[in-house]
A and B are shown apart, each in its own frame.
Chain A
Amino acid sequence: MARVEFRNVRKEFQDHSKESFTAVAGSDFVINDKEFVVFVGPSGCGKTTSLRMIAGLEHQTSGDILIGDRVVNNLHPKDRDIAMVFQDYALYPHMTIRDNLSFGLKNLKKPKAYIDQKVKEAAAILDMEPMLGRKPRELSGGQRQRVALGRAIVRDPQVFLFDEPLSNLDAKLRVQMRVELSELHKRLGATIVYVTHDQVEAMTLGERIVVMNRGIIQQIANPTELYAKPRNMFVAGFIGSPPMNFIDASIEGGRVVVEGGSFELPAAKLDALSPYAGRKLILGIRPEDIHGEDYAPGLETSPHRMNTHIQVVEHLGSENLLYFHIGGRLVTAKVHPETKAYPGLEKPFIFDMRKAHFFDPDSEQRIEI
C-alpha cells in the first residue's frame, strides 16, 4: 500500500467554445498509507476529476501527483498500480464473473495458478463463489457491486479508487455495503480514495474527508472535526443533515442580537468577536442544537431563549423537524418527538449557544472563538 500526494495540481477543461473551465484549482494534500479518505462535494466540485487524475484517466494541466514515492504524472493507468470501482460498475457484460475478475491479471501476464488463487480469495472475501460462472446481467445490483469490488481486490493494488460506488443501490443495500466497505478496509489495510456526493457516506466511511467546492478544497479533516469546527459556511452547510442554520446577527452591548431576540455570550467568546462589534455577522447553529423549551435536557435553566411561530412540522418518528423564520431566513430545529409542536404555535426555543458558530459575512470563514 502507499500514500498519495497532490502537489499544486490543477486541471482545466476546454468546452466547445474553447473557453476554459477550472475543474481543480491547485490542490495540495497527502493521503497517508492505509488511510480511507473521502472526497465529498456537490456536482462539479472537482472530486471525480481528482480521482480520475490519480487513476491516470485524466491528465492534470499542471502540478505533480505522487503514488508512493513515484511521480506518476506521465504514467499510463496500468503502470500506476491502482484499481478503481466505477459508479456504473463497468463490468464486462460479455464475460463471466470469473473472467471479469481475472481479466486484469491476465493482461498483466500473471501465471494461471496465481490468477486462480487470487480469484478464489476475492470470491471468498465477498461471498460470491456461486456466481463465478454467471454473466453480469444475471446478477442483482448489489451482486454486481460486489464483483466490481472483487475485480479491484484481485489486483492487490497500492491504492483503491472508488467513484460513487454505492449511488446506484437502494437505500437499504447502500447501508449494508457501507458497513462491508468499512470492514473490507480494515481487512485489506488498503489506501482507499473514495468519491461521493453523499455527506452521510463521507462521514461514516472516511477517516479523513476532503470537502471540495468549485474545484477548491474547502477543508480536510476527520469527521468529528469537520462537524465541530467547519472552516467556512460551505463546509458548515454541507456537512450535517439537515444542514446548519445561518441567521443574520450583530454584536451589540455584549450580546448577539438577531431579529426577534438576543443572546448573552460568555466573556471569552465576546473577546474573540469584539472586532465585529457594531458589524453584521452570521450566527450558525445546527438544527440539533435548538430545542423546544419543554424538552431540553440539561438546558432547562439556559438563558438563551427565543419565542417564534412554528410554520411546518415534519414527523420523522425518532425526531421531529420544526421550521420557523428568523430574520427572513428559514430555520430548522431537530427536536425530540415528545416536544409539543404544531403549525401556528408560538413556542419558546432554547438555543445551545455553547455549540454556536460565527462566520464573517464577507469571507464566509468561521470566526475562531
Chain B
Amino acid sequence: MQSQSQPQTQSRKLMLTIAGILLLLWTILTIVPLYWMLVGSLQDSAASASFRPAMIPEALSLAPYERFFAKTAAWRWLFNSLLVSSVLTVTNVFFASLAGYAFAKLKFPGSNAIFWILLSTMMIPAQVTLIPLYILMVNTLQLQDTYTAIILPTAVSVGNIFLMKQYMSSLPTSLIHAARIDACGEFRIFWRVILPLAKPGLAVLAIFTFVASWNEFFWPFLITSSTDMRTIQVGLASFVFAESTDFGAMMAGATIGALPMMILFFSLQRYFLQGITIGAVKG
C-alpha cells in the first residue's frame, strides 16, 4: 500500500509545484504592467519621459497627477465615463432582465425563434457592424458627438439577455403562478417578485456592464470628436503632445482611469466569481 501511494503523492506534489510556478509567473505578468503604471505615475517628468521609470523609485512625486489634471479636461472625461457607464448599467440591467424574464418564463409565439436569432447575432464580429452603425448614428440620426450616440448601440446587449435568461430560468415558476393568483399584474410580478429574487444575478450584470462600459474605447473614440465629449479612455489615447509625450502624466491618467475598476473588483469580488458560474449548474 505504502509503495503505491508514495509515488502518487510525489507526482501530486510535482503537479502542484508546476501549477504554483505557472500561476506565479501569470500573476507577475499581470501585475508588472500595473506596477509599472503606478510607479511611472509617481515619478517626476524627467525620469519618466524616457518611459523607463525605475522599478524602485528613488523619490515619489505627485507632480504628474497635477500636470494631468492641469493640462487636460480630465474631470470632464471622468464625468463622461461615469455618466455613460452608469446609464449603460441601468439600461442593460433593466432591459436585459425584462427580456431574460420573458424568454425564461413567459410563453409567447416564436419565443424560441426570436431567442436564437438574437443569440446568433453574437456570432457577428463587432467590427462588421461598426461601419453601418457609424453611418446610422452619424448620417441618418445625426447624433455624432453626443451621449446618446455613445450609449444607444450598447443600451442592451444580447450577451446580457442570455445571462439573465439563464439566471431567471433557475427561479421557480410556481412563484409566478402564485403571484398571478395573488392578483398581481404581469409587470408587477416582474417588479415585486422576480427582480428582488434576481438581485444576485442583477448585481453581477451591473458590475460586468459597468466595467465593460468604463473600459470601452473604440466606439466612443469613433463617435466623439470634441474634447469635451471624450471618455477617460479616449482622452488618455489623445494625450499626446505635439513635441513630446509626458509619460508621467499619461501614467497618472491611466492610473486614475483604472482605479475605479480596481476598487470595484476588490470590493465586489464574490459577485465577479458568481458571474463566472451563472448558468453553469442550472439553466
A: which residues have CB within 8 A of B?
Answer: 55-57, 76-78, 82-84, 86-88, 90-94, 103-104, 107-108, 151, 155
Contact status of A55 and B181, CB under 8 A, knowing A87-B174, A88-B174, A90-B172: yes
A86 to B172, CA, bound (A): 11
Pair A103/B172 contact, Cβ less than 8 Å: no
A164 to B101, CA, bound (A): 27
Pair B174/A93 contact, Cβ less than 8 Å: no
Q: Which of B182-190, B228-236, B260-268, B269-277 contacts A (4 or more CB under 8 A)?
A: B182-190
Instruction: Considering the complex, give the chain A residue whose CB is closest to the CB of B175.
Output: A90
Contact status of A78 and B177, CB under 8 A, knowing A90-B172, A94-B196: no
**Contacts A/B (CB < 8 Å), 7 sampled:** A57-B177, A57-B181, A84-B177, A84-B181, A87-B174, A90-B175, A103-B179
Pair B177/A86 contact, Cβ less than 8 Å: yes
Interface of B is mostly: helix
Q: State the 3 A-B residue pairs at the shortest beta-carbon distance, nearest first.
A: A104-B182, A78-B183, A90-B178
Pair B174/A86 contact, Cβ less than 8 Å: yes
Which of B177, B185, B196 meets A90, CB within 8 Å?
Answer: B177
B: which residues have CB within 8 A of A?
Answer: 172, 174-175, 177-185, 188, 192-193, 196-197
Pair B181/A82 contact, Cβ less than 8 Å: yes
**What are the residues of chain B within 8 A of A93 when measuring CB–CB?**
197
Q: What distance in Å separates the Cβ of B180 from its nearest Cβ neighbour in chain A? A: 5
Pair B180/A94 contact, Cβ less than 8 Å: no
**What are the residues of chain A within 8 A of B172 when measuring CB–CB?**
88, 90
A151 to B184, CA, bound (A): 14
Q: What distance in Å separates the Cβ of B61 from its nearest Cβ neighbour in chain A? A: 51
Which of A56, A86, A94, A108 meets B178, CB within 8 Å?
Answer: A86
Instruction: Considering the complex, give the chain B residue whose CB is closest to the CB of A109.
Output: B183
Pair A107/B197 contact, Cβ less than 8 Å: no
Contact status of A57 and B183, CB under 8 A, knowing A87-B174, A88-B174: no
Which of A55, A78, A155 meets B184, CB within 8 Å?
Answer: A78
Q: What distance in Å separates the Cβ of A300 from its nearest Cβ neighbour in chain B? A: 56
Q: What distance in Å separates the Cβ of A157 from its nearest Cβ neighbour in chain B? A: 9
**What are the residues of chain B within 8 A of A56 when measuring CB–CB?**
180
Which of A55, A76, A82, A92 meets B175, CB within 8 Å?
Answer: A92
Instruction: Considering the complex, give the chain B residue whose CB is closest to the CB of A86.
Output: B174
Q: What distance in Å separates the Cβ of B126 from its nearest Cβ neighbour in chain A? A: 33
Pair A107/B182 contact, Cβ less than 8 Å: yes
A92 to B171, CA, bound (A): 11
